[in-house]
């Protein structure tokens, strides 16, 4: 059974479902005030208002059309009112395209040295200076409204993968109440959107129950949270298949915080439209590169004199102009240029993967494309 939202959407985000592959993979389009986004799409993560080491022009050249901003970090530094006074986050960071901001809840639960969760919100001490703060649903919306993001997220409680069932149930109940308060604080008639978040751990009955509760409140889109906190891939993919068949088909579906190319291919096939993850940028800085034949560790001695590009089939700026030997030299020398070139390649790879997935869905051949793509990645370069 597919859940249907009976409540009028919150904002004015338009989502057009263009076609659906026999696997359930979807080809769509998000229309926002800052431009259209073709889906499935991958959103690079700009934690502090910047995708590490890259300029907005380089992001656009890599194929990114929407990025993610981090509410928690921008709230603490430089402050949402500072950003608002400077014209909002788009102008502050000189990014012309759409921006999605998270609620800040995940960072509170994962970074705050001390925190106390109550029905009103989360009291926490900043990881920067120890100052005391209270993040309520209303405050999460206030900050995101000040930032001016195109898509805002409700405040949710994200329990760890190992949490007992009773703790997960309490987190679900609190997330539902906070979601309703976020919607009320957000208001209506905005040119922006508000997404609800489904929790429930890896327990299917809890996921079903919470999806029903969040859909009944009614949002512009629906995200699945709590699936990148230690669960094994097969459990994550199982939750993805369950949610992909359950969430309203007329709204965008966002799988938060994932993941590897294998994760993305699997979850696109389950009907998800939006993804984000720090993996391509973080791995780039560590010298791990994503390619059509799987992972490449550029520090390996085998690349000392290798004149080849990272991936001969890749047309990114890095692969067009630089050799594996040079990238290995930069990595071992700890040169910033190496991190930048690696990041350009990894993000280009992720965005190209989304482009290829969209084409396969449009052609009705997603299953064959995904088998071929995953098979090549498993082969490796040896």
Instruction: Say if CB 3 and CB 247 are below 8 A apart.
Output: yes
Q: Distance between CA 26 and CA 254 in Å, rounded?
A: 12
| CA 222 to chain CA mean position, Å | 13
Count the neighbouring beta carbons within 10 Å of the beta carbon of residue 2: 11
Q: Phi and psi of 35, rounded to 5°?
A: 120, 165
Q: What are the structure tokens assigned to 105, written together?
A: 């809840």
- Closest C-alpha to 293, from 214, 213, 197, 375: 375
Instruction: Say if CB 5 and CB 211 are below 8 A apart.
Output: no
Terminal CA-CA length for the chain: 45
Write down the catalytic residue from 21, 150, 220, 276.
276
Percent helix, strand, coil in the chain (nearest 5)? 45, 20, 40
The secondary structure element, H or E, covering residue 92 is helix 89-93
Write down the catalytic residue from 21, 102, 156, 311.
102
Who contacts 114 (Cβ-Cβ below 8 Å, separation ≥6)? 124, 125
Instruction: Say if CB 198 and CB 210 are below 8 A apart.
Output: yes
Instruction: Say if CB 240 and CB 260 are below 8 A apart.
Output: no
The HSE-up count of residue 87 (CA atoms within 13 Å, CB side) is: 7
| 102 carries an active-site annotation | yes
| 166 carries an active-site annotation | no
**3-class secondary structure, 99:** strand
**3-class secondary structure, 151:** strand
Instruction: Say if CB 143 and CB 71 are below 8 A apart.
Output: yes
Q: Which residues pair with 296 in a beta bridge?
A: 289
Radius of gyration of the chain measured on its C-alpha atoms: 20
Positions annotated as catalytic residues are 102, 276
């Amino acid at each position: 059974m597919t859940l249907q939202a009976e409540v009028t959407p919150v904002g004015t985000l338009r989502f057009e479902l263009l076609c659906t592959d026999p696997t359930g993979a979807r080809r769509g389009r998000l229309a926002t005030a800052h431009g259209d986004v073709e889906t499935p799409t991958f959103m690079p993560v700009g934690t502090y208002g910047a995708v590490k080491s890259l300029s907005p022009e380089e992001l656009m050249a890599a194929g990114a059309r929407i990025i993610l901003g981090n509410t928690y970090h921008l709230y603490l530094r430089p402050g949402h009112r500072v950003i608002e006074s400077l014209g909002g986050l788009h102008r502050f960071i000189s990014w012309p395209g759409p921006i999605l901001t998270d609620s800040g809840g995940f960072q509170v639960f994962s970074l705050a040295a001390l925190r106390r969760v109550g029905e009103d919100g989360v009291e926490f001490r900043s990881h920067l200076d120890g100052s005391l703060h209270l993040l309520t649903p209303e405050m999460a919306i206030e900050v995101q409204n000040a930032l001016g993001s195109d898509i805002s997220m409700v405040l949710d409680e994200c329990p760890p993968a190992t949490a007992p069932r009773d703790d997960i149930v309490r987190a679900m109940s609190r997330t539902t109440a906070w979601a309703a308060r976020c919607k009320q604080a957000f208001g209506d008639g905005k040119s922006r959107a508000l997404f609800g978040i489904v929790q429930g751990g890896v327990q299917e009955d809890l996921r079903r129950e919470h999806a029903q509760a969040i859909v009944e409140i009614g949002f512009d889109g629906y995200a699945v949270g709590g699936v990148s906190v230690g669960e094994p891939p097969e459990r994550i993919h199982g939750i993805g298949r369950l949610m992909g068949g359950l969430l309203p088909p007329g709204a965008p579906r966002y799988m938060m915080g994932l993941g590897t190319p294998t994760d993305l291919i699997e979850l696109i096939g389950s009907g998800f439209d939006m993804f984000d993850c720090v993996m391509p940028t973080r791995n780039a800085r560590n010298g791990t590169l994503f390619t059509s034949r799987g992972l490449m560790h550029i520090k390996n001695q085998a690349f000392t004199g290798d004149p080849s590009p990272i991936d001969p089939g890749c047309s990114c700026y890095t692969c067009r102009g630089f050799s594996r030997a040079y990238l290995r030299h930069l990595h071992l020398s700890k040169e910033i240029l190496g991190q930048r070139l690696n990041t350009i390649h990894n993000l280009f790879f992720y965005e190209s993967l989304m482009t290829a997935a969209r084409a396969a869905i449009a052609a009705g051949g997603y299953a064959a494309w995904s088998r071929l793509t995953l098979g090549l990645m498993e082969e490796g370069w040896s």
